[in-house]
């Protein structure tokens, strides 16, 4: 981000137009990042008996978590099935890419709309996936995870920025029409 900021200033590029490139680049990067979480076994979900449940091997983060929580008998080598929240997150990031690239980008009315549209989507999808996660990641009074708190803040910031940038674009259009 810092390098991009310096580059944008040095070359006097429109910041939010460049930011819109991030709006569809980031979800693709986040898709691959969550696939890495899947391969590592981190960022796992709550125990489930549903058809989507997956079993990670002994020694994996879900296995260690379940052993520590007393959900498994000492010496157990088979953990309980958990929600594959890494895959949920990956697929939601991929879906976000398709939404911002194929739906929002062609309808874009002002610079920054694609970037902040992605931020709004990310905030909502991350908040929802967090409801199913069970790994230790911090929380406020055990009620809401750190990521959910951040998601609420990012959603509010994205909403504010979209309204601000839209108003600036409309004001600019009105000035152009007046000339």
DSSP for 82-131, please give it: B--HHHHHHHHHHHHHHIIIIIIHHH--STTHHHHHHHHHHHHHHHHHHT
Query: Among residues 38, 33, 4, which one has the least CA distance to residue 19?
Result: 4
Per-residue pLDDT at 140: 79
CA distance 3 to 6: 5
pLDDT of residue 142: 74
The pLDDT, as a whole number, for residue 179 is 58
For residues 27 and 5, what is the distance between their CA atoms, to the nearest angstrom? 20
% of the chain residues with pLDDT over 70 = 96
Tell me the per-residue pLDDT of 143-177, one tens digit each, with 9 for 90 and over.
899 999 999 999 999 999 999 999 999 987 766 66
Mean pLDDT of the chain: 93
Predicted pLDDT at 176: 65
Mean pLDDT of 52-75: 93
pLDDT tens-digit readout, 127-151:
999 999 998 877 777 789 999 999 9
pLDDT tens readout for residues 108-126: 999 999 999 999 999 999 9
Question: Which of the four pLDDT bands, split at 50, 70 and 90, describes residue 5?
Answer: confident
């Amino acid at each position: 981000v810092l390098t991009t900021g310096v580059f944008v200033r040095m070359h006097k590029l429109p910041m939010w137009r460049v930011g819109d490139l991030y709006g569809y680049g980031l979800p693709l990067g986040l898709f691959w990042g969550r696939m890495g979480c899947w391969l590592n076994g981190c960022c796992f979900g709550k125990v489930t008996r549903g058809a989507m449940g997956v079993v990670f091997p002994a020694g994996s983060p879900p296995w260690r978590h379940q052993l520590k929580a007393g959900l498994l008998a000492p010496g157990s080598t088979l953990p309980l099935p958990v929600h594959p929240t890494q895959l949920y997150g990956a697929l939601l990031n991929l879906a976000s890419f398709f939404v911002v690239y194929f739906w929002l980008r062609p309808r874009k009315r002002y610079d920054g709309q694609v970037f902040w549209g992605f931020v709004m989507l990310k905030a909502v999808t991350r908040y929802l996936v967090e409801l199913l996660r069970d790994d230790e990641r911090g929380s406020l009074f055990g009620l809401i995870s750190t990521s959910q708190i951040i998601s609420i803040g990012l959603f509010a910031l994205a909403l504010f920025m979209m309204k601000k940038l839209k108003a600036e674009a409309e004001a600019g259009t009105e000035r152009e029409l007046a000339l």
